[in-house]
Amino acid sequence: MLILGLLVYMLSYMYFKSVYDKKFDKWSLISDLLIRKAIFYDDDEIEDHTLIPVTARAEKLMRDKHFRKLLVNEITSAKKNISGISADNLKHLYVQLGLEKYALNNLTSSRWYIKAKAVQELTIMDMNEFVDQIYSYTDDKNDLVRMEAQSALVQFKGFDGLRFLDTITSPISNWQQIKLLQQLSHLPPSDIDMGLWFKSANSSVIVLALKLARNYHRFELHDDIISCLDHSDSWVRIEAIQCLNEIYTDETSDHLISRFLNETIKNQLAMIKVMQTIGTDKDVLFLLDLLTFENDEIKIHAARALVQSSKNGMISLEEYSKEVEYPINEIIMHIKGEIAA
């Protein structure tokens, strides 16, 4: 009986799978034909009231959620790979079939993956008229929903799309920050006001603001960047330190020096590295003093900064080595090797 039951199950499974596969193949053919009609529609100036021909069979299938899912997947896949009039025609077909209504409905789903897919779908289809609806999901409790919504805002609005940073409370991951910066890299520089972001209670917002300031050389934000050196979050402080490598004044090194002893080793090393760029002859005594520290990594970084920031740095370093030979002589040889290379 067990073998007979298993046989009946296998035969039933194979039958229904065969029926489904045939149905799926027919749907794929209908979907493909619809998309081809849209892409190659020969009206040079398609308007809102223009109707791309849709068969009665396709119209009827639009009531089936499984067919709609297949069709949307095919349309969005095609839309990502084309541009110009053909892409506009695909958007026109998408709206003509009312598919955006289903995406908007999915935004209210209790399942995060449906919401995330709905945001992604509306973004790919350039439905920027729904930017206000998408905005509310930029601080969603789910990471992926937030990421999709934030990316959508930037795609639709460029730098102005970053206004979600004014109110967002959820963290923005390093990966998401990289993605947002990559999206913005294709746009002309903007003088968007970032002052509020430097005062955010959300550390990740401050970090992103620092990266934006550095990437777009916002020198007028120097004082805001300096204020971040006193932030309680070491992630913010090290980002501020690195930012000062690009945005600095004659007094910037003084701000780093005054905070050096209270920093973590990691941040101290970052400070010394910045001194290679922004240090001057007035910082020589500070860098020489670092050679007395027990940490050899600090000594190496300080010696390198001394040589690169002062025209007499190597002379000062060699003079110091006469008093304290080890390990300064080895460090000097190492740095000379770097210079020679």
Token pair listed for 154: 């930037």
What pLDDT, on the 0 to 100 scale, is given for residue 2? 61
Q: How far apart are CA 265 and CA 295, in angstroms?
A: 9
Measured torsion, CA atoms of residues 251, 256, 259, 262, in degrees rounded to the nearest 10: -170
What pLDDT, on the 0 to 100 scale, is given for residue 5? 59
- Quick check: bond before 327 cis, omega within 30? yes
Note every long-range contact of 124-132, with CB atoms under 8 Å and residues 24 or more positions apart, other chains counting. Answer: 124/76, 124/79, 124/80, 125/75, 125/76, 125/79, 125/90, 125/91, 125/94, 125/100, 126/87, 126/91, 127/91, 127/100, 127/103, 128/156, 128/157, 130/100, 130/104, 131/156, 131/157
* Other C-beta atoms lying within 10 Å of the C-beta of residue 235: 13
What pLDDT, on the 0 to 100 scale, is given for residue 332? 80
Query: Count of residues for the chain?
Result: 341
Q: How far apart are CA 228 and CA 210, in angstroms?
A: 9
Task: Calculate Rg over the CA atoms of the chain.
Answer: 30
Using 70 as the pLDDT threshold, list the residues of the chain that sit under it. 1-24, 42-49, 324-325, 340-341
* SS3 category, 191: coil
Dihedral sign from CA coordinates of 251, 257, 263, 266: positive
What pLDDT, on the 0 to 100 scale, is given for residue 310? 85
Chain centroid offset of residue 300 CA:
34
What pLDDT, on the 0 to 100 scale, is given for residue 264? 96
Token pair listed for 104: 């908007």
